Amino acid sequence: MRLCLSWDDGHPDDRRIAERMAVHGLRGTFFVPLSNVEGRPVMAMGDLRALNAAGFEIGAHGVDHRRLHMLPAAEMQRQLTEGRARLEDMLGQPVRGLCYPGGRHNAAIRAAAAATGYGYGRTTEMLRLDCGRDPYRMPTSLQLHPHRLLPLLRNWLRQGGGLARLLRLARVWRAGSLPLAVNSLAAEAERQDGVLHLWGHSWEIGELAGGWPQLEEIFASLAALVPPEARKTCRELLK
């Protein structure tokens, strides 16, 4: 089994996420907009450089977190181009990863991402234990958030349904807690020699009652289960 953790929105609490991941020897990717039109703060340049120096991958998340599918073509292209170029200027190295803001994408956005020089695009499709066949439609296994049943069903339907994903949805729902849901998916990924890709928002962890202790429990469990060589960034998953 391979493990990947990815975090969206570039909130300053990502620094706390990275610190706890480092304590447990975990790796992953942080997708960062330059600002957030929704009003949430984002990390400063020094924070991004520190995460990058610590071995985490930094990926783009648009200029200001606007939903790309709702924008005129020229503005959509600016979000992709400028969001990446300014991150590269900050880090002094290429940025290959993209997470579509809000997880929303279409064929035109994916084609533009490829033409702009991104190597992959991560989606918010959940309940998958593989990397997918299209690097610009990279799926995930689970968001680290206690979703109600309806949002899980919407995600399942919007992303193509499927019996295997529906059975995973049922197990996640019955688990009753995030640590137990992660354990259930991890056990299946281990049996299949698959991919466990967990993602989330640090600001949501902070808003969730008991969020940080639960996350610590999950990190400790994953560190005990997954050997260091199988802990990957998003980019490394696709190699």
In whole angstroms, give the CA distance from residue 219 to residue 136.
27
Q: What mean pLDDT, rounded, does the chain reach? A: 96
**Number of alpha carbons in the 13 Å side-chain half-sphere of residue 75:** 9
In whole angstroms, give the CA distance from residue 147 to residue 168.
14
Cβ(42)–Cβ(233) under 8 Å?
no
Residue 151: the pLDDT is 85
Name the packing angle between helices 149-158 and 163-175 (round to 10°).
160
Element (H, E) at 120: strand 120-122
In whole angstroms, give the CA distance from residue 129 to residue 56.
22
- 12-21, 86-95, 98-107, 142-151 — which is least confidently predicted? 142-151
Residue 207: the pLDDT is 93
Residue 31, beta-bridge partner list:
8, 59
**Residue 137 above 90 pLDDT?**
yes
Residue 161: the pLDDT is 83
Residue 55: the pLDDT is 97
Residue 28: the pLDDT is 98
The residue assigned the tokens 């998003």 is 234
pTM: 0.96
**Residue 178 above 90 pLDDT?**
yes
Mean pLDDT across 167-194: 94
